[in-house]
Amino acid sequence: MKILILPDPDAAAARVADIIARTLVARPEAVLGLATGGTMEPVYARLVAQARSGQVALDRMTGFNLDEYVGLPPRHPQSYHAFMRAHLAAPAGLDPARLNLPRGDAPDAAAEAARYEAAIAASGGIDLQLLGLGANGHIGFNEPSSSLASPTRVKTLNHATRAANARFFGPGEEVPRHAITMGIATILRARHALLLATGAHKAQAVAAMVEGPVSARCPASALQMHPAATIVLDAAAAAKLELRDYYETVHPEGREPCLA
Ligand SMILES: N[C@@H]1[C@@H](O)[C@H](O)[C@@H](COP(=O)(O)O)O[C@@H]1O
């Protein structure tokens, strides 16, 4: 794992956007695994700005998002389809069809999960998988106890995750109980994994992911098994890392060699 520690959330998001942009400059038709969540909003804002200024072209890449809520159609404002339209497709002037997500309103969610897994494989596989981190250590919607060998499938969301994501929903609006999510095995098959975590509320999960045992208790710890995983943190999210000095010696100021 490469652990890159940046001073603040903005600098961390900028570093992640730069890594994505470099990947696309080297391979404009790259297949990107994409993520949602508040942490990703500044990443997409920066990527869109780079696209608008002509530093990077987004119109040949293919996206596969990690997950979608079961029961929400793409037009639902809290669906991850809507998130990707709002934060990437619309501002970058991208054809939303380039951004694949599981259909939350599919009549058979299990069949939809299997179709999605097959579609990722048929694309040639994911070049760079962007990931956020749940405060409970989840990646995608792989909650604690997820099999580290899991494919894309339906998962039941745990109480803490539904509570954390309730801020995106209106008052009295129910957070869905299930999601279709890429599995841990799906994520580990990506050629590069790039996780961004910022804020003190992620520090515990970051420490478990990087320095804890590889365990289904912290699904993100499976990234220790990935041969090319980059973890980008702000200082607050890095605060509980015991080996922080070492990471900062290897990557001063969060610098790292080109991923592409
Ligand atoms: N399924 C998403 C995850 O992919 C995301 O990483 C996590 C953290 O979100 P945030 O960035 O808002 O903290 O939230 C959701 O549960």
Looking at 112, 117, 143, 234, which residue is catalytic? 143
pLDDT at 256: 77
Q: How far apart are CA 101 and CA 67, in angstroms?
A: 7
Q: Report the alpha-carbon distance of residue 84 to residue 39 in Å, rounded.
A: 13
Query: Residue 8 falls within a domain, yes or no?
Result: yes
The Cα–Cα gap between 115 and 109 comes to 10
pLDDT for the residue numbered 255: 87
Atom 14, ligand 1: residue with shortest CA distance: 37
At residue 129, the 3 state secondary structure works out as strand
Q: Is residue 30 part of a domain?
A: yes
Whether 233 maps to a domain, the answer reads yes
Q: Does 256 map to a domain?
A: no
Q: How many domains, the chain?
A: 1
Helix residue spans in the chain (DSSP H): 9-26, 41-52, 80-84, 90-92, 109-122, 159-165, 184-189, 203-211, 244-250
Q: What is the ipTM metric for this complex? A: 0.95
Active site residue 67: yes
Residue 110: CATH number of its domain: 3.40.50.1360
Q: Does residue 260 lie within any of the structural domains?
A: no
Give the chain's radius of gyration (CA, Å).
Answer: 17
257 domain-assigned: no
Q: Where in the sequence is the domain holding 90, given as residue range(s)?
A: 2-251
Neighbours of 120 (CB within 10 A): 21
Q: Which of 18, 67, 68, 234 is catalytic?
A: 67
Per-residue pLDDT of the chain (260 residues; tens, 9 = 90+): 999 999 999 999 999 999 999 999 999 999 999 999 999 999 999 999 999 999 999 999 999 999 999 999 999 999 999 999 999 999 999 999 999 999 999 999 999 999 999 999 999 999 999 999 999 999 999 999 999 999 999 999 999 999 999 999 998 899 999 999 999 999 999 999 999 999 999 999 999 999 999 999 999 999 999 999 999 999 999 999 999 999 999 999 888 754 44
CA 148 vs. chain centroid, Å, equals: 17
Please, which residues have CB within 8 angstroms of residue 17's CB and are 6 or more apart in sequence?
A: 42, 43, 46, 47, 50
Q: CB under 6 Å to ligand 1: residues? A: 35-39, 66-67, 132-134, 140-141, 161, 165
